[in-house]
Structure 1
Amino acid sequence: MKIKLLFSHYFDIEEKVLDEYGALNICLDSDLPLFIDPFLLFASDNLEYQKLHKQIVGHLISLKKIAIEKQDLSDLNLFRFPEIRQNWLGLCKYGNQGKGLGPKFAKNIISAFNGFFINFGDEEVTSESHIEKLTLIDSGVGKDFISDFSANLILEYLLEYTERFAKLHLEEHQRKIFSVRCVFDEALQIWKPKKFELPYLYLEENGDFILLTPMDILTKDSSFINHSDLVGDFKNITNSIGNSSLRQAINSYFYRALPPNPRKKEFEMAVSQTIREFPEILDYYILQKEGNKNQSKQLSKKKIEQVRNELISTLIEFCETVLERSDFYNIKPNSYSEALKRANYLKDVIENNDGYRIFYKNGKPIASEDTIQRIFRLTWYASPYDVNSEVNNGRGPADYKISFGSGDSTIVEFKLARSSSLKNNLRNQTEIYKKASKSISDIKVILCYTMPEIKKVEKILKAMKQEKAENIVVIDAIPKISASKIK
């Protein structure tokens, strides 16, 4: 079986073709944990990017005007934005079906525009308005809004960008014409369709189109303007305010709100309380970011390389060196034995077939729980089983729920041995998930990088009287000495 995991594999082109075009080589099995950061559009020397940034902010300002002036907002369609799943970016470890910005977001942003952020778009301190500002204080507008909203507003550009690549580098049978709603008619207040010739999943029946995204507008985790950065640098931000009266008033208020020997949560609450009293702090923070815009491009490039080196290359290496050489996909027991066999297969690959190497770069361990979860997902490629990641049935998300019909399901959880919460998680977590998901069975997979970590796990399992439990799979990812060097 040939696994066509990446865009370049699927369309039989070299990765360097995408690199030279500037596009990310996306994974067509599950989303990559990358996001569009509108600040990178603002910070770019590319005039087209700068225009796109103004377009994003301009649309948001138009929505603010509607939210304030329109009395009847029972129709929330203008404030709802679907996830652009065809770019294969986001948090899904299985497929590309995200939630997008629905009714809850619509109500929260309408409320924000009629409350704390009523002056959005009228800033005088910063050179431009920035949509990230809406996520800097608890307004009910989360950081996931940034990428989803931006992708919707620059969708026409992304479609044109992808179409150019397709016509230049792909075969005719690998392209198809699609009509996509991407042009906003301001007069009619509706989104209109436009036709594009795009790459699509041509090996599948009714295959969907695929979007490419320029690497230089992507980031990992948080955008350059983000809440945790604001809190962490709060004192420097307030002390940099040139207006001495305002600076003194802010500092005086903040230190009154701060209890003696504050904990992290108390510090964050004092910051939030001070910002609500002095909203202009947000503009001074953003001004500071505007002054460091070159840093945003450097950080983004570093994060993209990290994802490519530590996640994408790891997944590909695992796929190419192991999965393609096995008859693994012929296994068809029940969900528990199916999941257990795959977990043990993963263990065997890592411990006995040099699979541990993919978890190290320059001698340092790189695999996070996210990485091992995504690798495990690959062992289900072309499987008839229903493999859902981060299933949330009211008690928090489980890593995977494997099922074959309504009466056969298994929860699988992944942990790093170095986790400080390992003991509690082993005792409680999957039992909670099992009850919430009505799963029959559970499997726990623990990745160890050092001998002390293995000893730690052994001690925990012994105390729990679970040292021989078949459903707890401990993987030894310690670097091994080559067999040729053993005397």
Structure 2
Amino acid sequence: MIGGFNMGIFVSEEFNLDDKMEEHGVFDSLLDEDSNYFINLVRLKETEVFEFKDSYRKINSYFKNIGMMLKVSKTKNDKMYKTAIKMFDFPEVNGINLGFSKGKKGSGFGKKLREQIIRDAKDIIDTGSEQPEIFHLLSLFEDNVGPDRLSDMIARLVYDNILEYTKNINKKLGIIPSKYDKYKFQDGLVINPYKKSLILLLPRDILHELPIAKDWDDIDRVCRENEAIRNEINALVRLEWKKLSTGAKKEYIKQNIFMNPKAVAQVIKAYDSVSIEPYDIYRNSDYFIEKIVHKYNKEFPIVIEKNKDSFEASLEICNHFKDMIENNKGYEVLYVDGKPRNEKIVQRVLYMTAEYYCRANKLDISPESNTGRGPVDFKISRGKDKTVIEIKLTTNEQTVHGFEFQIEEYAKSEKTDKKIFMLIDNGGPRKRIDDVYKVYQERKSKNENPAEVVLIDAKPRDSASKYKPNDKDIL
């Protein structure tokens, strides 16, 4: 669970595959939870992955058959209509581990939603529109239909393609019964030991990222991501769009666009003309953080001596993190598209790096502990022996205030005099670093107990060897 900081288990780790999945273009999914990605229909149309070459045609053929049944149907009680409802049944494919679901199984399409969609599809088809792509664009006019449900639908329709792909990749990766005799296999596929379902693999080439929030307005999302559709809808919709609720938008689009054959044809023509570049899955900060922390914990492990107190252990963890950032390209996790990420990202990376070591050495670690005077970024403790850790980026205007006041208040509220101030230089003004050290030296000269400062140079660079710390960077 990334958001709650518990580290998940990747397929590559479970089977000791190192970078083999990356080399074959396979998505390295988490086995014990879902990842926030979905299968993208447009990417299926354009993919060069052999096992999925006919998948887009297969999907359209399936929807075309549903459309033909609805076209000849006379009433909602006749055989054709009931068959269409029966065909529009897409239980979640649990083995791919995609979507928002945090449990062992997701929701898929329920009975009421299926009936609603078929009813609306029948109304649209009766106006003269028969394009199978109407079903691709359900999230434009149907409530409770977003990219995660559409992904479930697509996965079910291309299930045979997924099985074929997984079997072929398993052979390439060597995931076979003779090599992994402690695992259960079923027809060449391994059983997920955590979810008790098949482990199904997907090429990264066909995936895209889910919206961050579940309740985002799917119409606006589709329009933002698809310029051609946005232009067509903007041309067709003549009202103050932003003032409408999500439900009102979908109802308007259904009645004024999808119930209008000419308008539908324009939108679908725009949709068919769209080309989407393969998505870089590492743009998703949650996934990227978890991957990079797993990698660094494996490649650069530390073992804390058990006789160390919470402060010594915390300092060792922070210095390990410093080494990871400065000398092993760990700074890459702190940027996206060349721009600095926020302090929450740093906090999560440090927490996940430290969690294993704390467990192994009988230390407790708590992110954002709140004791009444505000949150402490971290508290590492063993019983009453506590150390608080505050993180600030140099791009944060509150950097000096954080060192001078915040961490002192946090330490008081935790009833401890052990404190570490981690200062991440991600390109903010050098004066903030100098001011922190000035306060530090002033307090030391007065025999006070300032927080230990761990300065980390996280500015992007060609190689770690080019980094030359100033003398004052070392306390």
TM-score, normalised to structure 2, is 0.59
Aligned to 2:303: 326
Q: Does 1:152 pair with 2:156?
A: yes
Instruction: Output aligned runs, 1:425-436, within 5 Å.
Output: none
Paired residue for 1:228? 220
| Alignment match, 1:215 | 204
Q: Relative to 1, partners in 2 of residues 1:357 and 1:126: Cα closer, same or farther, differing over 3 Å? A: farther
SS at match of 2:425: coil
Identify the residue that residue 59 of structure 2 maps to in structure 1.
56
Taking the TM superposition and a 5 Å limit, the aligned residue runs for 1:237-386 are 250=236, 254-255=238-239, 258=240, 264-266=242-244, 271-272=249-250, 274-280=252-258, 281=263, 284-293=266-275, 296=276, 298=277, 300-301=278-279, 303-307=280-284, 310-311=288-289, 313-321=291-299, 324-326=301-303, 350=321, 354=325, 357-361=331-335, 364-366=339-341, 373=348, 376=351
2:97 is equivalent to residue 88 of structure 1:
yes
Deviations 1:373-396 (A, max 9, x none): 5874576569999xxxxxxxxxxx
User: Gaps spanning 5+ residues in structure 1: where?
Assistant: 180-195, 332-336, 386-402, 404-409, 416-425, 428-443
**Residue by residue, what CA displacement relative to the aligned partner does 1:104-135 show, whole Å, maximum 9, x if unpaired?**
x33123113213x3356789779642533111
Root mean square deviation, CA, Å: 5.7
Deviation at 1:90, TM superposition (A): 3.3
Task: Tell me the distance in 2 between the aligned counterparts of 1:466 and 1:357.
Answer: 27
After superposition, the Cα gap between the structure-2 partners of 1:350 and 1:47, relative to the gap in structure 1 and judged at 3 Å, is closer
Give the Cα separation in 2 of the matches to 1:292 and 1:145. Answer: 21
Q: Distance in 2 between matches of 1:61 and 1:456?
A: 64
Alignment partner of 1:139 out of 117, 139, 143: 143
Rounded to whole Å, the distance in 1 between the matches of 2:53 and 2:162 is: 15
Count of residue correspondences:
383
- Residue 121 (structure 2) pairs with residue 174 (structure 1): no
Match of 1:485 among 452, 469, 474: 469
How far, CA to CA, are the matches of 2:253 and 2:194 in structure 1?
53
Q: Aligned partners of 1:208 and 1:341: how far apart in 2?
A: 44
> SS at 1:279's partner residue?
helix
Letter in 1 for 2:24: Y
In 2: Cα distance, 1:44 partner to 1:233 partner: 18
Q: Distance in 1 between matches of 2:248 and 2:283?
A: 34
Contact 1:163 1:199 in 2 (8 A): no
Provide TM-score, normalisation by structure 1: 0.57
Cα separation, 2, equivalents of 1:276 and 1:317: 48
Q: Distance in 1 between matches of 2:226 and 2:172?
A: 48
Whole-Å separation in 2 of the counterparts to 1:209 and 1:353: 36
- CA 1:43–1:236: 2 relative to 1, 3 Å: closer
Residue from 106, 114, 122 that aligns with 2:111: 106
Aligned residue for 2:394? 450
Quickly say closer, same or farther: Cα 1:166–1:353, change in 2 above 3 A.
closer
Counterpart CA distance in 1 for 2:14 and 2:59 is 32
Partner of residue 197, structure 1: 188
Unpaired segments of 5 or more residues in structure 2? Answer: 1-6, 376-387, 427-455, 458-463
Aligned to 1:394: none
CA contact (8 A) 1:310 1:366 kept: no
How far apart are 1:286 and its partner, in Å? 3.6
CA deviation vs aligned residue, 1:330-355 (integer Å, no higher than 9, x gap): 99xxxxx9xx9999997665468648
* Bigger mean CA offset, 43-52 vs 374-383: 374-383
Matched to 1:365, the amino acid is P
- Which among 161, 166, 191 is matched to residue 162 of structure 1? 166
Counterpart residue number, 1:36: 39
Contact 1:31 1:90 in 2 (8 A): yes
Distance 1:70 1:344 in 2: 73
Q: Is the 8 A contact 1:318 1:375 kept in 2?
A: no
Cα distance, 1:213 vs structure 2: 0.7
Measure, in 2, the Cα distance between the counterparts of 1:279 and 1:28: 42
Percent identity over the alignment?
17
Aligned in 2, Cα 1:99/1:478: closer, same or farther, shift over 3 Å?
Answer: farther
Cα distance change, pair 290–164 in 1 and its aligned pair in 2 (3 A): same
Letter in 1 for 2:168: R
Helix, strand or coil at the partner of 1:325: coil
- Preserved contact between residue 26 and residue 201 of structure 2 (Cα < 8 Å): yes
Is the radius of gyration larger for structure 1 or structure 2? 2
